[in-house]
A = this chain, B = another copy of it.
Amino acid sequence: MFRTHTCGDLRLSHIQQEVTLAGWVQRVRDKGAMIWIDLRDRYGMTQLILNENSSENLKSIARSLGREYVVQVSGTVIEREAKNPKMPTGEVELLLSEINILNSSEIPPFTIEDETDGGDELRMKYRYLDLRRNPLKNNLLLRHKLLQTTRKFMDELEFLEIETPYLIKSTPEGARDFVVPSRMHEKQFYALPQSPQTFKQILMVGGYDKYFQIVRCFRDEDLRADRQPEFTQLDCEMAFVHQEDILNTFEGLTRRLFQDVKGITLESFPRMTFADAWKFYGNDKPDTRFDLRIHDLDTLVKGHGFPIFEEAESVVGICATGANSFTRKQIDELTEWVKRPQIGMKGLVYVRFNEDGSLKSSVDKFYSEDVLKTWAEAMNAKPGDLILVLSGASTPVRKAMSELRLEMGTRLGLRNTQEYRPLWVIDFPLLEWDEESARYHAIHHPFTSPKAEDLELLETEPGKVRANAYDLVINGVEIGGGSIRIHDAALQSKMFDLLGFSPEQAQAQFGFLLGAFQYGAPPHGGIALGFDRLCAMFGGTDSIRDYIAFPKNNAGRDMMIDAPSLIEDAQRKELGL
């Protein structure tokens, strides 16, 4: 080893010891008689010192050091005169007897500090320098811990880690596949997995009972800000289980991760149907850290001559607790906010519930205080609250109200980043009608089972069939989802039929699974959690890219290695391309 200790090790107990460290020069402060050097490695920072007794030769070496030089230094640990309580090594410094320059460094294109002056593109290109910064380092340390804790938990529950192939078969269902041309089989392609879905089901048919894997998945989608063409998921499957067994197992995992990694004991994991999530929150991943539920007001607002409400398909409101303190200007801002194209509303109606019990609305012309009182009662409003009402076509208005609810949560400080509220959203619809292709699409995927009590509806009203499907949602973020699968070949074939597969297509693409179902498939189900997203949630930020060592940019490009890139002609020809 080039060192006896790391830069995070030294304490008062090491005083007078001769030690050797190695690391990067964070900075050099030269005061003539004294020179201080901050030496950094993964484990911390240690202050090195040269004093009036140090040789001029050593000092001249020290003066030659630039930022990010790599050095090996030896010396004696001494107590600092001016201690730094913010640094774990802040009570000591190393009086140098030797400096060995292991490598020099150009001046970095941005500062290696917690707050850097480098822009996104530059930091992506010089990722190896950005990775030296504490915020990224801490993210990767967090990810490491989540990886180990997750596997430990799964192993304790006798889940088997089984690796599934990356060179598989392309299937047109779902997102676009990345494909890999085969050199040995002309004109044929492998595909990279969007998920190991069929393989984990095959493992259940193979009797493996409980499977998990932390696995890379690939989707060739047009990238949005927070999407990566390759991403990591915790992928799991269990046999001989009911839905609640799976929810309880992964509730257990989530609890363990929060406990062991963040020291947080989570409270309850309520279950909420998709129907209720839509009704009360206007989306399928409610942030339940705060209430402000959506109320349907149609029966209360119609018949009073206000043309906008009369003509609206749906009128919905929320009661923003304590928001009557908002000024007129703040409410005007909110009105502008809901009119933005992303929200798309024409306006915002409000009712102030004053401290004196009086009610005052922006539509007083049409609604008497007595009518407003019926609204307040329906919404359980109290003096000091502010009622906000939107109207329009029912789906868009509900989505807009969902956004407004989140915005009000933020403005009222109700979205505490230190608070975690998990939730299972259950009973998702099985299918949705797609106008463009004029057929049903699977909301989860084609292997999700319909609820037994809705089976008959498959024939008559497929859109109304509920699935044994569930999502894990924390603070309004979807962390993962899964379902109880179909394990019956006939039902699976019927599902492919409903989704527009001809029997031949189904056979060509999923013949192996239909085949497997002929040989004793057990009841089974599973879940997949987005691991990058989970890390970001634990890190308390939104950007998954900051939790991936080498992410791609929004154009799917690795800026550091400059990929994708042209390949050699010989290579292309060999592949028959």
> If A1-B242, A184-B555 touch, does A128 touch B168 (CB 8 Å cutoff)?
no
Q: Mark A498-527, 1 if CB is under 8 A from B, else 0.
A: 000000000000011001111111110000
Complex formed: what's the CA distance from A192 to B218 in Å?
A: 12
Chain B residue numbers with a CB within 8 Å of A348 are none
Q: Are B141 and A548 in contact (CB under 8 A)?
A: no
- CB closest residue in chain B, given A556: B184
Complex formed: what's the CA distance from A561 to B191 in Å?
A: 12
Q: Say which residue of B24, B129, B165, B566 sits within 8 Å of A230 (CB atoms).
A: B165
Which chain A residues in 375-428 approach chain B with CB under 8 Å?
A: none
Distance in angstroms from A44 CB to nearest chain B CB is: 11
> If A190-B564, A521-B70, A571-B172 touch, does A165 touch B2 (CB 8 Å cutoff)?
no
- CB closest residue in chain B, given A69: B520
Q: Say which residue of B41, B168, B208, B512 sits within 8 Å of A140 (CB atoms).
A: B208
Q: Are A188 and B565 in contact (CB under 8 A)?
A: yes
Complex formed: what's the CA distance from A353 to B549 in Å?
A: 65
Q: Mark A536-577, 1 if CB is under 8 A from B, else 0.
A: 000000000000111010011110111111111001001101
Q: Which of A2, A163, A512 has the most CB of B within 10 A?
A: A163
Q: Is A271 an interface residue (CB 8 A)?
A: no
Distance in angstroms from A48 CB to nearest chain B CB is: 16
Chain B residue numbers with a CB within 8 Å of A68 are 519-520
> If A2-B241, A519-B68, A558-B165 touch, does A189 touch B567 (CB 8 Å cutoff)?
yes
Chain B residue numbers with a CB within 8 Å of A566 are 187-189
Distance in angstroms from A472 CB to nearest chain B CB is: 20
- CB closest residue in chain B, given A242: B1
Q: Say which residue of B105, B160, B198, B555 sits within 8 Å of A141 (CB atoms).
A: B160
Q: Which of A161, A517, A555 has the most CB of B within 10 A?
A: A161
Q: Is A18 an interface residue (CB 8 A)?
A: no
Q: Say which residue of B207, B522, B563 sits within 8 Å of A168 (CB atoms).
A: B563
Chain B residue numbers with a CB within 8 Å of A516 are 128
Q: Say which residue of B127, B161, B558, B571 sits within 8 Å of A206 (CB atoms).
A: B127
Say how many copies of this protein the assembly contains. Answer: 2
Q: Are A167 and B229 in contact (CB under 8 A)?
A: yes
Q: Which of A108, A164, A181 has the most CB of B within 10 A?
A: A181
Q: Mark A166-183, 1 if CB is under 8 A from B, else 0.
A: 111110100011111111
Q: Say which residue of B177, B190, B518, B550 sits within 8 Å of A165 (CB atoms).
A: B550
A contact residues, range: 35 or more
Q: Are B169 and A561 in contact (CB under 8 A)?
A: yes
Distance in angstroms from A465 CB to nearest chain B CB is: 22
- CB closest residue in chain B, given A108: B519
Q: Are B169 and A562 in contact (CB under 8 A)?
A: yes
Distance in angstroms from A468 CB to nearest chain B CB is: 14
Q: Say which residue of B147, B188, B202, B230 sits within 8 Å of A166 (CB atoms).
A: B230
Q: Is A80 an interface residue (CB 8 A)?
A: no
Q: Is A131 an interface residue (CB 8 A)?
A: yes
Distance in angstroms from A208 CB to nearest chain B CB is: 6
Q: Are B144 and A162 in contact (CB under 8 A)?
A: yes
Q: Is A103 an interface residue (CB 8 A)?
A: yes
> If A70-B522, A148-B161, A162-B144 touch, does A209 touch B42 (CB 8 Å cutoff)?
yes
A-B contact pairs, 21 of them (CB 8 A): A40-B207, A42-B208, A70-B521, A103-B523, A131-B206, A132-B206, A137-B207, A163-B232, A163-B548, A164-B549, A166-B192, A167-B563, A176-B571, A176-B574, A177-B571, A180-B192, A181-B577, A187-B566, A189-B566, A189-B567, A190-B564
The 3 closest A-B pairs by CB, nearest first: A131-B206, A105-B520, A169-B563
Q: A residues touching B (Cβ–Cβ < 8 Å)? A: 1-3, 22, 24, 40-43, 68-70, 72, 102-106, 108, 126-129, 131-132, 137, 140-141, 143-144, 147-148, 151, 155, 160-170, 172, 176-185, 187-192, 198-199, 202-203, 205-209, 216, 218, 220, 222, 229-230, 232, 240-242, 245, 487-488, 511-512, 515-523, 548-550, 552, 555-558, 560-568, 571, 574-575, 577
